[in-house]
Chains A and B, each alone.
Chain A
Amino acid sequence: EAGVVQSPRYKIIEKKQPVAFWCNPISGHNTLYWYRQNLGQGPELLIRYENEEAVDDSQLPKDRFSAERLKGVDSTLKIQPAELGDSAVYLCASNPRGGEQFFGPGTRLTVL
Chain B
Amino acid sequence: GDSVTQMEGPVTLSEEACLTINCTYTATGYPSLFWYVQYPGEGLQLLLKATKADDKGSNKGFEATYRKETTSFHLEKGSVQVSDSAVYFCALSPLYNNNDMRFGAGTRLTVKP
- Residues of chain A touching chain B, judged by Cβ–Cβ distance below 8 Å, are 4, 31, 33, 40-45, 48, 55-56, 91, 93, 97-106
Interface stretch, picked from B12-20, B67-75, B100-108, is B100-108
- Residues of chain B touching chain A, judged by Cβ–Cβ distance below 8 Å, are 32, 34, 36, 41-46, 49, 89, 91, 93, 98-101, 103-106
Task: Give the number of A-B contacts (CB < 8 Å).
Answer: 51
| Most B C-beta atoms less than 10 A away, residue of A4, A43, A106 | A43
When C-beta atoms are compared, the residue in chain B nearest to A42 turns out to be B103
| Contact B41 A105, beta carbon cutoff 8 Å | yes
Give which listed residue, A93, A97, A101, A105, contacts B42 with CB less than 8 A. Answer: A105
When C-beta atoms are compared, the residue in chain A nearest to B106 turns out to be A42
With A41-B105, A42-B89 as known contacts, state yes or no: A99 contacts B98, CB within 8 Å: yes
